[in-house]
A and B are shown apart, each in its own frame.
Chain A
Amino acid sequence: MSGILAAVAWCGVHFVIFLVQRGTGALNRERAIFLFHAIPFALFLMLLVAALAAGWLSFDHAAGALSVHGIYSLTFLEFWSLAQGGYTVSLLRLLLAGPMTEAAVLHELRLIGEKKRQDRLLALQDRNLIRRIDDSVVLTKRGRFAARVVLLLRWLANMRGAG
């Protein structure tokens, strides 16, 4: 169980570092917060491989320890992303300040939606998943692979239509 306890301690230290860093705004971007989790995850994996090679840990317990880190990071990222602000969060935050007319709320939500669409297109382009050719969006090689993963997940969950 020592590997699992080490994973809990590692995640605890990581969370404390996050609490110290969060006021700086350095981790406010999706890429920054993703790397803030991905890099320690990769480091922890390397430590586990070293511990396995040295015979300090069984394969099962190494997998359990890695799972602790995975559960922590995924849960953190899900809540981080939820709080970052979709339509519902934005709507609730707008109305928390006080009542507004429906037209004003719809106007604000429309601006948020248009910004989101632009941001997503730019992010897909930055990650080399799509290319803009004239007035069209086409997938890159990497984008075609990502699209296949998306289509597989949609098929599994029997999803249809726009998100």
Chain B
Amino acid sequence: MTAILAAAVATSVLIAAHATMCRLSVLPSIPAFLLAGVIAGGGLGFGLYGLGASLGDVVVAFLVFAFASELYLFAFTAVLGSISANILALAAAKPLSIRELGEIYNGATMAALRLERARSAGLVRSAAGNLELTPRGRLLAGVFSWLRDLFGHDAEP
């Protein structure tokens, strides 16, 4: 049980450190999570070394810690960018009219915002009155195409 307890403590430290860093606005939430993960993971390693844990216990502790951390990352990134999560949060405060929802998720505003983000991330650029991919954008598009092929997203049911 030592390995599982150690992993549980490390996960709690990770969540607390992440919450603190997000409040102090030290880093954006994803880099803050990575830094908190390094701190908690390092603490877990030193703690297990100090306890004289066996290799098997170390492997188990890091596997449980990695799973719990990824579950937390999965949950908070889903909440961060998810339309569904945002609808639930908004409707928790008061009934939400379809018109209000349309104003919050205005298609034209959202499209312009995402295009601006892609431009500032250096993925697209304007050239001769058109938009085109930068080499970085082309590389990322290639990665996404590969992932779509791997997962068979374009296969017809």
Residues of A within 8 A of B (CB): 1, 4, 21-28, 59-61, 63-64, 66-68, 70-71, 74-75, 77-80, 82-89, 91-93, 95-96, 98-102, 105-106, 109-114, 116-117, 120-121, 123-124, 129-130, 133, 135-139, 143-144, 146-148, 150-151, 153-154, 156-159, 162-163
Instruction: For the complex, give the distance between the alpha carbons of A129 and B91 in Å.
Output: 11
Question: Are B86 and A162 neighbours in the complex by a CB distance under 8 Å?
Answer: yes
B115-A91 in contact (CB<8A): yes
Residues on B close to A: CB < 8 A? 1-4, 15, 18-19, 22-23, 29, 56-57, 59-60, 63-64, 66-67, 70-71, 74-76, 79-92, 95-99, 101-102, 104-105, 107-108, 110-112, 114-115, 117-118, 123-124, 126-133, 137-138, 140-142, 144-145, 147-148, 150-153, 155-157
- Among residues of B, the one whose C-beta sits closest to the C-beta of A156 is B19
A61 to B150, CA, bound (A): 32
Distance of A146 Cα from B86 Cα, bound (Å) = 11
Q: A157 near B19 (CB under 8 angstroms)?
A: yes
Task: State the Cβ distance, B83 to closest chain A Cβ, in Å.
Answer: 5
- Is there an interface contact between A163 and B63, defined as CB atoms closer than 8 Å? no
Residues of A within 8 A of B88 (CB): 124, 129-130, 139, 143, 146-147, 150
Shortest distance in angstroms between B3's beta carbon and chain A's nearest beta carbon? Answer: 5
Given A63-B60, A121-B87, A153-B75; A26-B144 close (CB under 8 Å): no
Minimum CB distance partner of B29 in chain A: A157
Query: With a CB–CB cut-off of 8 A, which chain B residues contact A64?
Result: 3, 59-60, 63-64
A92-B115 contact in complex given A61-B60, A150-B88, A151-B89, C-beta closer than 8 Å: no
Show 8 A/B contacts (Cβ-Cβ < 8 Å), sorted by A.
A4-B59, A63-B60, A99-B131, A109-B110, A113-B110, A117-B102, A139-B91, A163-B85
Please give the distance in Å from A23's CB to the nearest CB on chain B: 5
Q: Are A1 and B153 in contact (CB under 8 A)?
A: no
Asked whether, in the complex, the Cβ of B105 is within 8 Å of the Cβ of A162, the reply is: yes
Task: Give the residues in chain B near A147, CB-CB below 8 Å.
Answer: 88-89, 91-92
Residues of B within 8 A of A96 (CB): 133, 138, 141-142, 145
Given A1-B59, A96-B141, verify A22-B87 contact (CB < 8 Å): no
Question: Are A67 and B63 touching (Cβ within 8 A)?
Answer: yes
CB contacts (< 8 Å) of A91 on chain B: these are 114-115, 118, 123-124
Complex interface: chain B residues within 8 A of A102 (CB): 115, 126, 130-131
Question: B37 to chain A: closest CB distance in Å?
Answer: 14
Which residue on chain A has the smallest CB distance to residue B74?
A: A74
B115 contact from A109, A150, A153, Cβ within 8 A:
A109
Q: Report whether A163 and B108 are in contact in the complex, using a CB–CB cutoff of 8 Å.
A: no
Interface centre among A4, A71, A158, by most chain B C-beta atoms within 10 angstroms, is: A158
Q: Is the CB of B131 within 8 A of A101?
A: yes
How far apart are the CA atoms of A91 and B78 in the complex, in Å?
20
